[in-house]
């Protein structure tokens, strides 16, 4: 039986989930399964975006047949030829001989490598900025080499502002009934898996991901449809902000990740003591035993934490096997911009520390702490000072904000002793204390004659229950304040967490004196007082009739009787803090323009001012003549 889900009126998810797969790509454990997303656009011309892995081919075909309902696809867009998204291409070509495959030259080359069928009659080649009109929709194609393979491209539906992003913005984990990231607590339950997916699948190609992000800034994207994981239709800033950090190898968390390899527990013991000393200094820590934690989890954590301590025993005159594999993996995933300290152990010739430093010196922007620690079989009492010194050195390279005040050790009070005096709080006024109020956010609307207007406020509270009275404070410079002073009536639309940033732009970034803020809004929803309210992104509406007004210089304080109140949704109302964390776009970090050359064949980037004439691409083995300067 088919299992499809509607995304918009004419876009249907026809993918499938696999919860039996043990190792994705044969390397990455996926305890939560994985989804293979495929999308069907029903327009005058019908477009299928990618297919699925062979493991879920039958379910996909059932889904596709149901969504097609007897019609035939006109186009199959192949964004990425990795077989987990292209296993069904051959069967679809045989089933729909008139269907055109839309792809780029590199995709075509891989189609020929993976599959043996006549491509000449059915392939339609696209390049950067090419478009495809399907009726109501227009698709725009953009190349995204090495995100994750050289042939990858994305497409953008400029009609509904949907980005089909291939591997970008994907996530491990099957879709358990929910299709959209806002149907789950993504930040709490899935962000770690999104990071693990990113770091392990495309983490190596930060420069290429940055190039894609740069292209996307020119597009007005409302929805992102990746090939794995959830679709993003709300809070896109959450995942875009993470990609900006991950692709630039910027740590997300100031603190220390300790990865240790220990045969008989003595290296682990030193690592454990270091972790305790760091916590005593208020520094966040996380620990991994590299012999038991899958490498993909540790690589993901390395992309998150600012400081890394590697603690390893010496083994066969080298680095302990599991640690050696992890370090090689990290180097291959291009880890950079981290502060690193090393603890080595060995019973007769400890050398693992020097070897670890040597391997990591291949990475860019790694700062090694001078304070290293060398153990002979086990940590000795007299070496505790060295652990303290390492903890201090790590602490010195962390910002003050990364250090919580360490908890005071409770001391037994001597009989008759006086309680310790609590220092008096500072006497002066710290204005930032006001940010600790748990403000909400509201659209305040008014109507004067035929003129509708509204503004954003953060001060609306209930004062009394009987009678039901509220207060609002409004800046006197706002036109809405002037209108309420004149008419004595208003509505408060209580904003929900799903409210898009555009509402704040609409009501907060322009004046009703100059523009009609409701122009083109597509709704005309009015309460009994005839004043507009917001039907979407709103949890409830309260209408007020002014009972008292007080002039407080910059602001008017209105006390109002509630004349109407109704709930619109069961969503959480937005708070000021939530707005800053999830809705307001973060300014992009200023970027240093990288000098380098990009391979026209596979997208590999060689960083540096010069490209040697005899340079050979390490990925596709093409020569310097196939490279061009990064723009």
148 binds ligand FEO (CB under 6 A): yes
Question: Shortest distance, CB of residue 204 to ligand FEO, whole angstroms?
Answer: 12
Q: Considering only residues 85-124, where is the footprint of ligand FEO by CB under 6 A?
A: 85
Shortest distance in whole angstroms from residue 228 CB to ligand FEO: 6
C-beta of 168 vs 363, nearer to ligand FEO: 168
User: Which residue lies nearer to ligand FEO by CB, 172 or 442?
Assistant: 172
- Residue 80 near ligand FEO by CB under 6 A: yes
Residues with Cβ within 8 Å of 351's Cβ and at least 6 positions away in sequence, in order, are: 314, 317, 318, 344
Residue 547 · residue 469 · CB < 8 Å: yes
Contact between 157 and ligand FEO (CB under 6 A)? Answer: no
Least distance from ligand FEO to the Cβ atom of residue 66, Å: 24
- Beta strands across the sheet bearing 100-103: 5-8, 11-13, 39-42, 46-49, 75-77, 100-103, 123-125
CB of 524 to ligand FEO, least distance (A): 45
Nearer to ligand FEO, 197 or 615 (CB): 197
CB 281, CB 395: distance < 8 Å? yes
Question: Which region among 77-85, 114-122, 246-254, 306-314 touches ligand FEO (by CB under 6 A)?
Answer: 77-85
Q: What does residue 196 show for φ and ψ, rounded to 5 degrees? A: -65, -40
Cα–Cα distance measured from residue 239 to residue 539, given in angstroms and rounded to the nearest whole number: 25
Closest contact distance (angstroms) between CB of 456 and ligand FEO is 41
Helix, strand, coil percent values for the chain (each to nearest 5): 30, 30, 40
- In the complex, the smallest distance separating the C-beta of residue 8 from ligand FEO, rounded to whole angstroms, is 23
Residue with Cβ nearer ligand FEO (229 or 353): 229
Contact present, 196 and 296 (Cβ < 8 Å): yes
Choose one: 82-90, 205-213, 230-238, 360-368; the region binding ligand FEO (CB under 6 A).
82-90
Residue 256 buriedness (CB in 10 A; 0-12 / 13-18 / 19+): buried
Hey, which residues between 192 and 221 contact ligand FEO (CB under 6 A)?
A: none
Among the listed ranges 81-89, 405-413, 530-538, 615-623, the one in contact with ligand FEO (CB under 6 A) is 81-89
Residue number, 82 or 489, with CB nearest to ligand FEO: 82
Site for ligand FEO in 483-502 (CB under 6 A): none
Q: Which of 82, 210, 324, 452 binds ligand FEO (CB under 6 A)?
A: 82
For every residue of 572-612, DSSP letters joined together read PBPBHHHIIIIISPPPPPP-PPPPEEEETTT--EEESS---
134 to 44, 131, 220, 505: CA distances (angstroms): 6, 10, 20, 32
Residue with tokens 């322009």: 510
- What b/e string do you get for 122-137 counting C-beta neighbours within 10 Å, with b at 16 or more? bbeebeeebebebeeb
Query: Does residue 151 touch ligand FEO according to CB under 6 A?
Result: no
Site for ligand FEO (CB under 6 A): which residue of 84, 210, 268, 452? Answer: 84
The structure tokens 């003050």 sit at 400
- Closer CB to ligand FEO, residue 228 or residue 447? 228
Which residue number has the CB closest to ligand FEO? 82
Q: Could you tell me how many residues make up the chain?
A: 631
Asked if 167 is part of the footprint of ligand FEO (rule: CB under 6 A), the reply reads yes
Binding range to ligand FEO, per CB under 6 A, among 80-88, 350-358, 402-410, 432-440 = 80-88
Interface size with ligand FEO, residues (CB under 6 A): 9
- String of DSSP letters for 466-501: TTTEEEEEEETTSHHHHHHHHH-EEEEEEEBTT--H
Query: Whose Cβ is closer to ligand FEO: residue 82's or residue 157's?
Result: 82
The closest alpha carbon to 448, from 527, 367, 356, 532, belongs to 532
* Footprint of ligand FEO on 262-301 (CB under 6 A): none
Sheet holding 627-629, edge to edge: 605-607, 596-599, 627-629
Determine, following the binding rule CB under 6 A, whether residue 137 of this chain makes contact with ligand FEO. no
Tell me whether residue 84 or residue 482 sits nearer to ligand FEO (CB atom).
84
End-to-end, the C-alpha distance of the chain in Å comes to 50
- Which CB sits closer to ligand FEO, 167 or 268? 167
Answer whether 199's CB lies under 8 Å from 5's CB. no
Binding to ligand FEO (CB under 6 A) within 430-469 occurs at none
Q: Does 18 bind ligand FEO (CB under 6 A)?
A: no
Q: Which two tokens stand for residue 2?
A: 């088919």
CB of 349 to ligand FEO, least distance (A): 43
**Closest to ligand FEO by CB, 167 or 497:** 167
Options 78-86, 101-109, 375-383, 448-456: segment touching ligand FEO (CB under 6 A): 78-86
User: Binding pattern to ligand FEO, positions 219-258, x when CB under 6 A?
Assistant: --------xx------------------------------
Query: What is the rounded distance in angstroms from the CA atom of residue 365 to the CA atom of residue 362?
Result: 10
Give the contacts of 385 (CB within 8 A, at least 6 positions apart): none
Nearer to ligand FEO, 85 or 517 (CB): 85
Binding site for ligand FEO (CB under 6 A): 80, 82, 84-85, 148-149, 167, 227-228
């Amino acid at each position: 039986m088919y299992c499809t889900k509607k995304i918009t009126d004419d876009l249907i998810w026809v993918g499938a989930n696999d919860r039996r797969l043990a190792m994705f790509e044969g390397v990455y454990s996926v305890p939560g399964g994985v989804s293979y997303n495929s999308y069907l656009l029903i327009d005058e011309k019908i477009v299928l975006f990618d297919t699925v892995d062979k493991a879920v081919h039958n379910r996909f075909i059932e889904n596709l047949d149901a969504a097609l309902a007897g019609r035939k696809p006109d186009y199959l867009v192949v964004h990425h030829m990795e077989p987990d998204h292209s296993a069904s291409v051959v069967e679809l070509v045989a089933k729909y001989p008139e269907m055109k495959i839309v792809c780029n030259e590199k995709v075509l080359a891989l189609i020929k490598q993976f599959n043996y069928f006549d491509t000449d009659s059915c392939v339609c080649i696209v390049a950067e900025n090419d478009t495809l009109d399907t009726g109501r929709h227009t698709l725009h194609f953009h190349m995204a080499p090495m995100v994750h393979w050289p042939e990858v491209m994305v497409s953008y539906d400029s009609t509904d502002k949907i980005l089909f992003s291939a591997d970008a913005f994907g996530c491990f984990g099957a879709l358990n009934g929910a299709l959209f990231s806002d149907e789950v607590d993504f930040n709490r339950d899935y962000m770690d898996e999104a990071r693990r997916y990113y770091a392990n699948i495309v983490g190596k190609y930060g420069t290429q991901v940055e190039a894609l992000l740069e292209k996307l800034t020119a597009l007005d994207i409302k929805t992102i449809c990746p090939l794995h994981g959830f679709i993003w239709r709300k809070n896109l800033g959450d995942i875009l902000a993470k990609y900006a950090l991950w692709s630039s190898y910027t740590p997300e968390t100031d603190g220390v990740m300790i990865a240790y390899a220990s045969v008989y527990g003595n290296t682990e013991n030193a690592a454990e003591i270091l972790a305790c000393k760091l916590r005593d200094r208020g520094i966040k820590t996380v620990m991994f035993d590299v012999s038991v934690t899958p490498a993909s989890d540790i690589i993901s954590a390395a992309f998150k934490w600012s400081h890394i301590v590697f603690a390893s025993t010496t083994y066969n005159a080298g680095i302990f096997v599991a640690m050696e594999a992890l370090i090689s993996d990290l180097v291959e995933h291009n880890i950079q911009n981290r502060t690193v300290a090393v603890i080595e152990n060995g019973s007769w010739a400890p050398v693992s520390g020097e070897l670890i430093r040597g391997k990591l010196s291949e990475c860019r922007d790694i700062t090694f702490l001078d304070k290293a620690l060398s153990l002979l079989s086990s940590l000795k009492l007299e070496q505790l000072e060295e652990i303290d010194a390492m903890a201090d050195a790590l602490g010195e390279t962390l910002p003050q904000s990364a250090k919580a005040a360490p908890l005071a050790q409770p001391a037994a009070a001597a009989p008759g002793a006086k309680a310790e005096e609590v220092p008096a709080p500072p006497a002066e006024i710290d204005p930032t204390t006001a940010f600790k109020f748990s403000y909400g956010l509201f659209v305040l609307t008014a109507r004067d004659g035929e003129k509708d207007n509204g503004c954003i406020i953060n001060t609306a509270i209930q004062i009394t229950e009987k009678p039901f009275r509220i207060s609002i404070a409004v800046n006197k410079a706002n036109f809405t304040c002037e209108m309420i002073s004149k008419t004595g009536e208003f509505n408060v639309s209580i904003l929900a967490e799903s409210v898009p940033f555009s509402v704040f732009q609409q009501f907060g970034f322009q004046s009703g004196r100059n523009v009609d803020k409701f122009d083109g809004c597509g709704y005309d929803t009015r309460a009994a007082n005839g004043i507009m309210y917001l039907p979407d992104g709103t949890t409830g509406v309260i209408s007020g009739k002014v009972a008292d007004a007080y002039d407080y210089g910059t602001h008017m304080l209105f006390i109002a009787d509630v004349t109407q109140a109704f709930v619109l949704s069961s969503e959480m109302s937005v708070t000021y803090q939530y707005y800053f964390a999830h809705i307001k776009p973060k300014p992009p970090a200023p970027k240093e323009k990288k000098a380098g050359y990009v391979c026209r064949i596979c997208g590999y980037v060689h960083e540096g001012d010069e490209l040697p004439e005899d340079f050979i691409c390490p990925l596709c083995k093409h020569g310097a003549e196939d490279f061009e300067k990064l723009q």
